[in-house]
Structure 1
Amino acid sequence: MPSANFCEDPSAGIFEKILSCESADAVGETLLEPMVDALGATSGVFMQIFSSPCGGRHFGARSYVGGTPASVDAYVDGLYALDPVIRPVMDWMDAARGPAPNLLTGSFEHDLEDDPQYRDTFLRPYDIGHVVAVAMPMKTGLETQLACVGFHRRHGDIAFLPQQLAWFQRLVPAIRSVLYALACREALALSETIALAAREAGAEMGFLILDEDLVVRNGNAKGMEDLGLAGASLGGSSVLGEIKQRLLAADRAPGAAFGFKTSGMRAFDIEVRNFETADGRTFHLVVTSGGGPRHAIGDACRRFGLTERETEIARQIASGKCNASLSHELGISLRTGENHLRSIYRKVGVSSRTQLVSRLLHIQ
């Protein structure tokens, strides 16, 4: 049984430890472990919960400290839907308005007798009797998510003491700031990746972001429509299924990429890029695009047998860049750029920039 002795004033060391957290992988060591010890808890858990653009709730990063890690898998696999403590927070996510519930406490041995299914399928099998938890909404501009941190004691242990709950509550601002910083770092990585793809693809770009579990985390209207996730789109959800199958068979390391063209009435190009989030997980940016000068030029360059570098130079020329600008943009010398341009002229059979762009844009 955890000791009832407890120092009401948290040491500066615990604050320092919490504020040292720089990634989701470090939450267990820097946040959960010191607080499990200070609270006399038997386990602690961190979970990131978000609403998918396709509907439903999903779990992102998570960490656990304690003797029954299988309890986390059982919880996220569906038992969370029975949890009366988290239910108000889930309702807040669905409504997307008003403040989320903050400090959530309870003694399950006394408070949950009216929830026998949850008690008998989760609490009893994993010996969870008392919980103190906080659920924090995180709005980063790209998505709304919840960061939840909870600590547990076994059945038969004494409940968390009032001074322990007050101490935990005083730590909530530090916990919130750390987890919000992690959410913002992830959002920044997503934003930078999207911005790069948007600059390259132009106005015809649609996008989706899939997380490490291939769950849709974000997307714009065109991307959702192209992949059949918005209304009665012609693209069909089978396209998303094909993307997932290709990802499972491909190199999923950060930096790897592949592309293909869909078939059917409304064919369009798809490019999938793997990238690393701020906390080291691998996400996937799916770019959908069809029509538009940039893609017409790309198709034409492939037909003329231009290399990847030559194709990029042709695109820069089509966007109006001079030799000096495109050389600076691509990180090559002016002489190298001019050599590439002569090779492009020879392969396409033209002698000027105007002829080159006209030929590339009109080739069938």
Structure 2
Amino acid sequence: MPSANFGGDPSAELFEKILSCETADAVSETLLEPMVEALGARSGVFMQIFSSPYGDRHFGARSYVGSKPTSVDVYVDGLYALDPVIRPVMDWLDDERGPAPSLLTGSFERDLEEDPQYRDTFLRPYDIGHVVAVAMPMRTGLETQLACVGFHRRHGDIAFLPEQLSWFQRLVPAIRSVLYALACKEALALSETIAIAAREAGTEMGFLILDEDLVVRNGNAKGMEDLGLTGGAQGGSSVLGEIKARLLAADRAPGVSFSFKASGLRTFDVEVRNFETADGRNFHLVVTSGGGPRHAIGDACRRFGLTERETEIARQIASGKCNASLSHELGISLRTGENHLRSIYRKVGVSSRTQLVSRLLHIQ
């Protein structure tokens, strides 16, 4: 049995241990293991759950301490939908209407007979008879997710006592602060990566973010439409399949990227960038672009045979930059910039900036 004093507050040492958690990989050591020992539990689990941009549920980071780790895989593969304990919180995650329900539950062995399917397919095979768990809704700038932490005892064990549940509840604010900090770190890494891509691609950028399991974690309207993940677009889902196939066959290490031209209702460019989240997981930013002025100019420059440097100068001119500004922006001398511009005029068949921009934007 645990040595914790359930009549009083949790120890400062336990609070310090929990609050030392800085990455998802450290959740087992800093949160689950000390709590399993203190509660006299047989196992402990942490799960991150969210709704994807197109409406289904997905499990992100997860950790487990105990003798039956395969129970987590079975649970997230679909049996979670049968779980009567977490179902109300899952339902809230899908539509976020009203205040988020709080979940703090103790033993439910006496209720097993009321849900024989869940009992026979999950609880009995993995010898789970008593649970104390908490589900914490968390909103970041990019998404809403649930962070769930639970501890289990076997069927023949003594149920968690009321004083143990009260003791556990006093730890919930510390657990919540740690898991919320992890969620914010992840959101910050995603935001920084998106901001860099947006600065480079301009206003016509669509994006999706795929996690380490290649599940869509986030995206904007244009990215969803480009890849056929909205009702208004057709034929794009095959592009997402191609992206996943390319990722599975490629180096998925952070910093690696690749690009290709895709075709849905129209042809557009796809770039995939691998990056590392704050807690060390490998995610993928998918950038779609095409159809806007910036990319129309790029297509026209290719047709006229402009070099990469000349194409960049043409884009700078289209954005209103003078010779001095574009030379400074590109790190070249004013004379070199003027030489490039004369070459561009000759290839496109124009004699002024206005004619150049007009010709590039209207070429068919």
Q: Kindly tell me: are residues 31 and 339 of structure 1, through their superposed partners in 2, closer, same or farther at Cα, counting changes over 3 Å?
A: farther
Deviations 1:249-289 (A, max 9, x none): 22222222222222365222222222222211122222222
Equivalences, count: 359
Whole-Å Cα distance in 2 between the matches of residues 341 and 63 of structure 1? 59
Deviations 1:123-149 (A, max 9, x none): 121111111110000111321110001
2:106 is paired with a residue whose SS is strand
Range with greater deviation from structure 2 (67-76 or 238-247): 238-247
Range with greater deviation from structure 2 (295-304 or 110-119): 295-304
- Equivalent residue for 2:231? 231
1:31 is paired with a residue whose SS is helix
**Which one of 332, 346, 349 corresponds to residue 346 of structure 2?**
349
Whole-Å Cα distance in 2 between the matches of residues 291 and 87 of structure 1? 43
* TM-score normalised by length of structure 2: 0.88
1:126 is paired with a residue whose SS is coil
| CA shift for structure 1 position 100 | 2.8
- Partner letter of residue 166 of structure 2? A
Whole-Å Cα distance in 2 between the matches of residues 15 and 136 of structure 1? 18
- Equivalent residue for 2:120? 120
- Unaligned 5+ runs, structure 1: none
Range with greater deviation from structure 2 (222-231 or 144-153): 222-231
Range with greater deviation from structure 2 (48-57 or 352-361): 352-361
Q: Kindly tell me: are residues 352 and 36 of structure 1, through their superposed partners in 2, closer, same or farther at Cα, counting changes over 3 Å?
A: farther
1:131 is paired with a residue whose SS is strand
2:85 is paired with a residue whose SS is coil
Whole-Å Cα distance in 1 between the matches of residues 209 and 52 of structure 2? 10
- Equivalent residue for 2:180? 180
| CA shift for structure 1 position 197 | 2.2
Q: Kindly tell me: are residues 340 and 245 of structure 1, through their superposed partners in 2, closer, same or farther at Cα, counting changes over 3 Å?
A: farther
2:241 is paired with a residue whose SS is helix
| CA shift for structure 1 position 203 | 2.7
- Equivalent residue for 1:36? 36
| CA shift for structure 1 position 352 | 8.2
Correspondence 1:1-364 to 2 at 5 A: 2-3=1-2, 6-7=5-6, 8-263=8-263, 265-303=265-303, 304=305, 306-307=307-308, 311-322=311-322, 325-326=325-326, 332=331, 334-335=332-333, 339=336, 342-343=339-340, 345-346=342-343, 349=346, 354=353, 357=357, 360-361=360-361
RMSD value, Cα: 2.6
**Contact 2:103 2:136 survives alignment (8 Å):** no
| CA shift for structure 1 position 301 | 4.3
- Partner letter of residue 156 of structure 1? G
Q: Aligned residues: percent identity?
A: 81
Whole-Å Cα distance in 2 between the matches of residues 363 and 348 of structure 1? 15
Whole-Å Cα distance in 1 between the matches of residues 323 and 69 of structure 2? 59
- Unaligned 5+ runs, structure 2: none
- Partner letter of residue 18 of structure 1? I
Whole-Å Cα distance in 2 between the matches of residues 211 and 141 of structure 1? 17
Deviations 1:63-120 (A, max 9, x none): 1111111111111111111111111111111231223332422323212221122112
| CA shift for structure 1 position 5 | 6.4
| CA shift for structure 1 position 198 | 2.3
- Partner letter of residue 319 of structure 1? S
Range with greater deviation from structure 2 (79-88 or 8-17): 8-17
Range with greater deviation from structure 2 (3-12 or 247-256): 3-12
Whole-Å Cα distance in 2 between the matches of residues 242 and 276 of structure 1? 22
Whole-Å Cα distance in 1 between the matches of residues 183 and 50 of structure 2? 11
Whole-Å Cα distance in 1 between the matches of residues 351 and 169 of structure 2? 70
Whole-Å Cα distance in 1 between the matches of residues 215 and 260 of structure 2? 20
Q: Kindly tell me: are residues 56 and 292 of structure 1, through their superposed partners in 2, closer, same or farther at Cα, counting changes over 3 Å?
A: closer
Whole-Å Cα distance in 2 between the matches of residues 20 and 310 of structure 1? 52
Whole-Å Cα distance in 2 between the matches of residues 326 and 289 of structure 1? 23
**Contact 2:4 2:39 survives alignment (8 Å):** no
| CA shift for structure 1 position 56 | 1.4
Whole-Å Cα distance in 1 between the matches of residues 328 and 204 of structure 2? 26
* TM-score normalised by length of structure 1: 0.88
| CA shift for structure 1 position 4 | 7.8
2:267 is paired with a residue whose SS is coil
Deviations 1:162-219 (A, max 9, x none): 2221111111111111111111121122222222222222232222221111111112
Whole-Å Cα distance in 2 between the matches of residues 29 and 148 of structure 1? 16
Q: Kindly tell me: are residues 103 and 362 of structure 1, through their superposed partners in 2, closer, same or farther at Cα, counting changes over 3 Å?
A: closer
**Contact 1:306 1:347 survives alignment (8 Å):** no
- Partner letter of residue 346 of structure 2? G
Deviations 1:210-262 (A, max 9, x none): 11111111122222222211114134322222222222222222222222222
2:113 is paired with a residue whose SS is coil
- Partner letter of residue 307 of structure 2? L
- Partner letter of residue 45 of structure 1? V
| CA shift for structure 1 position 159 | 1.2
Whole-Å Cα distance in 1 between the matches of residues 229 and 5 of structure 2? 52
| CA shift for structure 1 position 311 | 4.2
Whole-Å Cα distance in 1 between the matches of residues 302 and 351 of structure 2? 19
